[in-house]
Chain A
Amino acid sequence: MLDGLATFGAAFAVFANFTTLFNVAWATLIGIVIGALPGLTATMAVALLTTLTYRMVPEQAILVLIAVYVGAIYGGSRSAILLNIPGTPANAATTLDGFPLAKQGLAGEAMGLATSASVLGTIIGVLFLAALAPMLAEFALSFGSYEFFWLAIFGIVIAGQMTSFEDALKGWIIGFLGLLVAMVGQEGIHAEPRFSYGNSDLAGGIALIPALVGAFGFAEVLSVMKERAAEMAARTVDRVVPGLADLWRYKRTIGRSGLIGTIVGIIPGVGEDIGAWVSYGAARRASKEADQFGKGSREGLIAAETGNNAAIPGALIPALTLAVPGSAPAAVLLAAMFIHGIRPGPLIMIEAPEFVYQVVWMVLLATVAMGVFGLALTRPLLTVLRVPRERLMPVVFVLCVIGPYAISQRLFDVYVMLFFGVVGFILREMKYPMAPLVLGIILGDILDKNLRRALVLSDGDLTPFFTRPVSAVLWVTTALIILFALPPVRHATARMMGWNKSA
């Protein structure tokens, strides 16, 4: 415990300089702007910035990416409140009460509450990050190949289920397609090329960043240009700084939403958007003013914005300790860590314990910057929302093309980006979630190596896959998730429990 505190204190020394302040400031601001612009998501922001920061020293590069991540998830609340369009998917629940508040002439108050809730949510999440990450890393040291195999399957199944709740089948399909994408190229045990058919580019594999820039960048450009342009709800704003009494009144909601957001963030591949929805749902059930939800409830807005920001540190917990990302932007962050020579996973508390605490500081610094910019730059940020998409999207697409190229210097990655952009757009139009795809691409290697290693260890005997304690917990949970997603079982359970359809 004391060792942890000492390492935590020492970790700050890395950031006690002017470069840090400068990087946190511009990166958080860029994150807020990107998040506020409809169609530009946090995942895309982190992916594009990865390409812009790979020449920086690792600590500063990851700091920039985390600041962009935190800023973008918060920034999305701006367009949710003012345009009724979530700036990122994480802010979808924010529109329900944020936009009605703006229409009542309370846009400034709504933005102030969203800012405070986001700051408090991130702080709650970061406390859990500091406390849980070392424990989880220590626990994960007992994981063998059997457990990592089940963790990969569990991750895909639960991410597929939670990101596509009404239609888990589509979530699973996209997750397993992600795993299949990861099979292209040289495999990790014998370096044998798979599905490459003599093509040296394919033998190098499909890199995560080009695929993500395509699925979250190019696909978004296509979606944004296809949709009708949005109208802003408020052109002027009222008081922005929220009253402390308001926040104190909703302390239970803030605490609950922070906890829920963090837990949802920890679940592999299930990130800020689900964190916000689950927090919002829980707040409505517990609220004395439930009838106000959806009509401009301050409590609803606070719950959604606390929940989504708390999911950020939550998503970093498994990313750091298991190398399994808790959300799509965390997946890109994980890839960026590998690019910078940092190796997240169970050994991180042995090999680089200071890095975990540095991440805690990074999130805290970004949170402070987010709060300051959020309250101080309300009016300039309104101007950003007035930039017409016709003038913004071509510049975004230029970055989508050059970003992946800059990392590997091969045009093949530009074509990968285009392919995933078009496929991602089509799948999105057919209501497939994208987060399990990202998780699949990340988990493919873990699944591949660990299944084969485990089979070698047991000489083909499947018994240890089911009998080892952690494996048993993982496969039973996975099986239950699949079972309860089957429509006949869901309907039977709902009948037995007396739930009606509207509940």
Chain B
Amino acid sequence: MQQRPLARADLITGLVLTALGAVTAFESYRMPRLEERSIDPWTAPGIVPGSLGIIIFVLGAALALRSVAAGAFTATFEAEDDPAEARAGRFRFWLCMALCLIYAVGLVGHAPFWLATLLFVFSFIVAFEWKSDDSPRSRGVKLALAAAIAVATAGFVPFLFETLFLVRLP
């Protein structure tokens, strides 16, 4: 049975896909036909992506229409089973996303790889394991463990790739 909040997400996805299909078909139509190279017109580069654009347009429209029939416009969000856990889940997701993006986009390529990795692994573990009611001793153990894993990763991964596989790291 289609759930209404999912129907709303399907409607949005359907519209995005319809637009993507249309833009793809249009861009494929604009692609060079390479007449100056006297190629067979049936091998023009835009034929296949153009056809795929049309197919995605049709599939997107079908998804959007189906979601409307399933009640996308009258969608109401049902109460979550466990609102506190749902909130905690969302927090964990955004924290994870932020840390990963800071590492992959902000640090890798801009700082030495070992340092970027050390900082990332340490902050990730600490950020997720930190509890405000931890005793100083248990907090110390957690910090020491996080530091040990971070040092091991920052040491082993560059060793593996640079020394054994002869890959220059970013």
A-B contact pairs, 22 of them (CB 8 A): A173-B56, A190-B45, A221-B100, A222-B96, A390-B124, A391-B125, A391-B146, A394-B124, A394-B149, A395-B153, A397-B120, A397-B124, A402-B169, A406-B161, A414-B104, A418-B105, A422-B97, A430-B9, A451-B47, A451-B48, A451-B51, A453-B43
User: Which one of B53, B103, B166, B170 has the highest number of Cβ atoms from chain A below 10 Å of its Cβ?
Assistant: B170
- With beta carbons under 8 angstroms apart, the residue of A398, A406, A417, A456 that contacts B117 is A398
How far is it, in angstroms, between the C-alpha of A380 and the C-alpha of B95 when the chains are bound? Answer: 32
How far is it, in angstroms, between the C-alpha of A18 and the C-alpha of B108 when the chains are bound? Answer: 38
Chain A residues contacting B161 (CB-CB under 8 Å) are 402, 406
How far is it, in angstroms, between the C-alpha of A418 and the C-alpha of B108 when the chains are bound? Answer: 13
How far is it, in angstroms, between the C-alpha of A387 and the C-alpha of B31 when the chains are bound? Answer: 52
Within 8 A of A (CB), among B35-79: 37, 39-40, 42-49, 51-53, 55-56, 59-60, 62-63, 66
- With beta carbons under 8 angstroms apart, the residue of B43, B51, B157 that contacts A190 is B43
- Which one of A97-105, A179-187, A265-273, A360-368 contacts B? A179-187
How close is B59's CB to chain A, nearest CB, in angstroms? 5
Chain B residues contacting A451 (CB-CB under 8 Å) are 47-48, 51
Contact A226 B89 (CB under 8 A): yes
Contact B52 A179 (CB under 8 A): yes
Contact A402 B157 (CB under 8 A): yes
- With beta carbons under 8 angstroms apart, the residue of A176, A225, A418 that contacts B93 is A225
Contact A173 B165 (CB under 8 A): no
Contact B24 A173 (CB under 8 A): no
Contact B105 A225 (CB under 8 A): no
Contact of B111 with A by CB under 8 A:
no
Contact of B134 with A by CB under 8 A:
no
Contact B13 A228 (CB under 8 A): no
Contact B103 A401 (CB under 8 A): yes
Kindly state the interface size class of chain B when it binds its partner.
Answer: 35 or more
Kindly state the interface size class of chain A when it binds its partner.
Answer: 35 or more
Chain A residues contacting B47 (CB-CB under 8 Å) are 451-452, 455
How would residues 367 to 391 of chain A score, 1 for a CB under 8 Å from any chain B CB and 0 otherwise?
A: 0000000000000000000001011
A226-B42 contact given A169-B59, A221-B100, A452-B48, CB 8 Å threshold: no
Chain A residues contacting B125 (CB-CB under 8 Å) are 390-391, 394
How far is it, in angstroms, between the C-alpha of A388 and the C-alpha of B52 when the chains are bound? Answer: 44
Which single residue of chain A is at the shortest CB-CB distance from B107? A401
Contact B48 A448 (CB under 8 A): yes
How far is it, in angstroms, between the C-alpha of A395 and the C-alpha of B154 when the chains are bound? Answer: 9
How would residues 443 to 467 of chain A score, 1 for a CB under 8 Å from any chain B CB and 0 otherwise?
A: 0000110011101100110000000
Within 8 A of B (CB), among A217-232: 218, 221-222, 225-228
Contact A460 B93 (CB under 8 A): no
Contact A194 B45 (CB under 8 A): yes
Which single residue of chain B is at the shortest CB-CB distance from A167? B2
Contact B43 A189 (CB under 8 A): yes
A399-B9 contact given A173-B59, A173-B60, A225-B128, CB 8 Å threshold: no
Which single residue of chain A is at the shortest CB-CB distance from B109? A411
How would residues 113 to 128 of chain B score, 1 for a CB under 8 Å from any chain A CB and 0 otherwise?
A: 1000100110011001
- With beta carbons under 8 angstroms apart, the residue of B32, B48, B149, B168 that contacts A409 is B168
Contact of A490 with B by CB under 8 A:
no
How far is it, in angstroms, between the C-alpha of A179 and the C-alpha of B93 when the chains are bound? Answer: 29
How far is it, in angstroms, between the C-alpha of A221 and the C-alpha of B59 when the chains are bound? Answer: 30
Chain B residues contacting A170 (CB-CB under 8 Å) are 63
